[in-house]
Amino acid sequence: MESPLIHTLRQAAALKRKWERAEEPSFLGWITMLDPAVAEIEVGWGYDGLIIDTEHSTFDVTALRTTLMAFRGTDCVPIVRVGANDIYLLKRALDAGAGGVLIPLIQDADDARAAVNNCRYTPQGSRGVAPLRASNYMRDVEAYLDEANRSVIVIAQIECVAAYENLDAILEVDGIDCFLVGQVDLSASMGHMWDPGHPKVAKTVEDIIRRCRQANRPVAVAAGTNIDELKHWLDVGANVLSSGGDLGFMLGGFYAFKARLEQAGLHLG
């Protein structure tokens, strides 16, 4: 019987193949809340994968491990956004059982090569060999080590002017499985804080998508939940969309409820 954690690794490999084919859009959601029950709910929503955001939330290694347990035995791939392109943070996420990692603030080809190196075992990289939970607490360590290099997903986040300027060189780096455009940080880097819809930002995002696709590299956009926006990015050429997550859906549900109350002449507080 296949270990649930080896199943996670094989689902990650299958997701990479889906991205490479680019025959249908792929959706990733977000987890920002530490309650594993929230993750357990989201896992059943049908996303190809969920990004556990340890960059902008308060996850420690214990909370991360507990949240990863919600994915056990499911087809939803857990992807951890680490706080930096740091070998310790990447090793911690992968050893805890992540099927992939999202690495922020990749700025040039050296950053991209370092990311791949940090996520791959020798001879492709220098990841330390102690995949505790990832290998079902060493019960399936041989199977894990055999699968990991070709299965673990590595996503590079393109979210600053430097990355845009160095994009051609970044795209030449082998081992990056997808490039995710972070619109909000990109807009800030371009001098348009919190305005990803600014025409100059939008044109830059479109150019990044087109160049990734011309290089036959999977490309994702961190988008909202507006359907017209999502269709636009798919039309431009994105084949992966990171859209929706626990906090946004909670707030959206609350605001919708509040609006219905006010329409009925009722008010909170």
How far is it, in rounded angstroms, from Cα 118 to Cα 140? 22
Percent of the chain with pLDDT over 90: 99
Q: Enter the CATH code of domain 4-263.
A: 3.20.20.60
Tokens found for residue 110 = 């050296």
Is 56 a catalytic site residue? yes
Confidence of residue 1 (pLDDT cuts 50, 70, 90): low
Q: Where are the beta strands (DSSP E) in 32-82?
A: 49-53, 77-81
pLDDT digits (tens, 9 = 90+) for 202-259: 999 999 999 999 999 999 999 999 999 999 999 999 999 999 999 999 999 999 999 9
Strands 26-31 and 49-53: parallel
Looking at residue 2, its pLDDT comes to 81
How far is it, in rounded angstroms, from Cα 233 to Cα 205? 9
Per domain, the residue ranges of the chain are 4-263
Are the beta carbons of 230 and 241 closer than 8 angstroms? yes
pLDDT digits (tens, 9 = 90+) for 34-53: 999 999 999 999 999 999 99
pLDDT digits (tens, 9 = 90+) for 154-192: 999 999 999 999 999 999 999 999 999 999 999 999 999
Are the beta carbons of 221 and 233 closer than 8 angstroms? yes
Q: Where are the beta strands (DSSP E) in 82-152?
A: 100-103
Rounded mean pLDDT, 124-148: 97
Tokens found for residue 253 = 């549900």
- Sign for the pseudo-dihedral over CA of 229, 182, 38, 248: negative
Are the beta carbons of 54 and 63 closer than 8 angstroms? no
Are the beta carbons of 82 and 90 closer than 8 angstroms? yes
How far is it, in rounded angstroms, from Cα 80 to Cα 9? 14
Question: Among residues 7, 56, 198, 232, which one is catalytic?
Answer: 56
